[in-house]
Chain A
Amino acid sequence: MNKKLLLLFMHLCLYGFSLMAQKAKNNITDTAKLLIDSTTFSSIINREFTQLVNGESKALIGSFAALDLKDSKVSFNGSWVSPKLKTITLNASGSADGGTYAIFNNSKLNSNISLELKFSSIFNKSSRLRSYLSEIEARKQNIERIDSLYAIKKRSVQTQINFIDLTIESLQYEIKNIITDTALSDKQKSLKILEKKVKIDSLNILKYSDFGNAKLKTRSVQAEYKKVRKAAETDFNITGIRMHWIAFSYKILNKSFTLFNPSAAADKQTSKANFTAHYVTIDLNFYQWSNRPGESWYVQAGAGFSYDDNKDDLLKTELTETKEYGTTGNSRTSTKKYFVYTGDYKDKKAGIRFFADAYWFLLKNNVAAVHLFPAVSFRNKEKPLYSCGGGFMYSFKDKKDDKGKALINAELYYKLTDITNSRNFDKSLFERNEIGLRFGLPLKFFFND
């Protein structure tokens, strides 16, 4: 009996030592992670950057896409995000026919098609984060709780296995005792040994079944722990964030529209125009968000190179065409309305444009913003075109969204389209304007609930 106790004691000692060693090892690595170090900081910045640039769910790293097929139009938005704080986005829109989207047709770019490839990369240095001290302490406590729970779960699995092993050993020891017991008859011995062996077999079955498979169980507990632990390391409320990034984009756009010349003969007044424009843009982005009003802003400044036409300078009007069928007194008419462009149309124009967009967010929950957007464009053989606009943006909750989370950012803007009158319009400065409503922001700015 003493031998049996000694065996049990040795097992428990060895088990105890192995647990202590494991705990000590865990403490060395885990205590360091309780703090917000460079790796944790980058993970948070990465998460927020992804959400900001792509508007996707916070923890999503990888490739994702959105497709919208509606009224024979298709728009596609696909993104690839690398853990090294870089995103690549592909936007495509155009006409769809039966779910197909022909980019080229007879080796020519399809009409009214647009393809844009954008690469954004964050400047990790000088990024900032802010959080309440109480939040940081709560994060620490949560991580410690997860660690303790894991240690208990792991120990519980191991204890179950050790219990089975020790019981088997104890039964085997008992069998040895039965064999050497002279007080028992052979029949009694066989019966008792059989009884013990049945118990050993059932314990072995338990040990190697799903419940008893230590490795399987430990692995699943460990995998769950790693997942929960990783999420907890970056899970705390942020009260402020600041980051900067650079973006490069290339866009190809096919323009197909109708030109209108009122002074020409009736059958030659309208003509089709088709041009494929190319744009390359580089922009720098400075972004600061705070949960306090008046401390959030977003500034974008950049340059765009274009190979374009002057469609935007032409006058856009709606034309109504009427056709009459049949003889007088018994005739039918059909009308067709479409947009036409009037003016001196020129294509294959190379140009460069410098632009800036500045948003300053105001009011509680940053629901409003003041927007300023100056720009200057240079095109070959033309005077530079200076423009400047200002707007007021307000975020409304989307009525269609049941959860009330989606926002519609509506901006009422006023733009001076040609400050120096370089296009020689016979209108005054304030008449050369554009007043309108714009919906949406160039990024997925996050608001407080």
Chain B
Amino acid sequence: MANLTIKALDNVRYRAVCTDDNFKGRWRDTQAEAETDGKKHLENNPSHSIEIEFEQKGRISLQ
């Protein structure tokens, strides 16, 4: 018989945000993905400044 386990997980999600216009990237599961979003925005707007935003979220996982 399979066991169903409920686990509370701490995880961080990431997104790129531009400080010079309204660009806000999607929330990503990895920092690398958010950095890629930011770098893509910089390619078209080289004078802009990009910030990476980190948010810690509690998550409940059923396993």
Chain A contacts to B: CB under 8 angstroms: 35-38, 41-42, 45, 124-134, 136, 239-240, 292
* Neighbour of B53 across the interface among A37, A45, A128, A292, CB < 8 A: A128
CB distance from B6 to the nearest CB of A (A): 16
Interface centre among B19, B32, B55 (most CB of A within 10 A): B55
Q: A132-B49, A133-B16, A136-B35 are in contact. Are A126 and B54 (CB under 8 A)?
A: no
Is there an interface contact between A133 and B54, defined as CB atoms closer than 8 Å? no
Is there an interface contact between B16 and A38, defined as CB atoms closer than 8 Å? no
A130 to B52, CA, bound (A): 6
A-B contact pairs, 17 of them (CB 8 A): A36-B12, A36-B31, A38-B10, A38-B11, A38-B12, A38-B56, A41-B54, A125-B58, A126-B55, A126-B57, A128-B53, A131-B52, A132-B49, A133-B39, A133-B49, A133-B50, A239-B51
Contacts of A126 in B (CB 8 A): 55-57
Q: A41-B12, A132-B50 are in contact. Are A35 and B31 (CB under 8 A)?
A: yes
Is there an interface contact between A127 and B50, defined as CB atoms closer than 8 Å? no
Contacts of B52 in A (CB 8 A): 130-133, 136
Interface of chain B: mostly helix, strand, loop or mixed: strand
The residues in B between 20 and 52 inclusive whose CB is less than 8 angstroms from any CB of A are 30-32, 35, 38-39, 42, 49-52
A53 to B17, CA, bound (A): 28
Known A-B contacts: A129-B53, A132-B50, A292-B19. Give 9 more (CB < 8 A): A38-B10, A45-B56, A125-B58, A130-B17, A133-B50, A133-B51, A133-B52, A136-B35, A240-B51
Q: A41-B12, A133-B16 are in contact. Are A36 and B54 (CB under 8 A)?
A: yes
Contacts of B55 in A (CB 8 A): 126-129
CB distance from B11 to the nearest CB of A (A): 6
Closest to A44 in B: B54
Contacts of A134 in B (CB 8 A): 49
CB distance from B3 to the nearest CB of A (A): 25
CB distance from A324 to the nearest CB of B (A): 73
A45 to B56, CA, bound (A): 10
Contacts of B17 in A (CB 8 A): 130
A11 to B63, CA, bound (A): 50
Closest to A132 in B: B51
Contacts of A240 in B (CB 8 A): 51, 53
Closest to A133 in B: B50
CB distance from B62 to the nearest CB of A (A): 18
A151 to B16, CA, bound (A): 33
CB distance from B41 to the nearest CB of A (A): 10
A338 to B44, CA, bound (A): 72
CB distance from B42 to the nearest CB of A (A): 8
Contacts of B31 in A (CB 8 A): 35-36, 136
CB distance from B29 to the nearest CB of A (A): 12
Closest to A123 in B: B58
Is there an interface contact between A125 and B56, defined as CB atoms closer than 8 Å? yes
Contacts of A239 in B (CB 8 A): 51
A35 to B35, CA, bound (A): 11
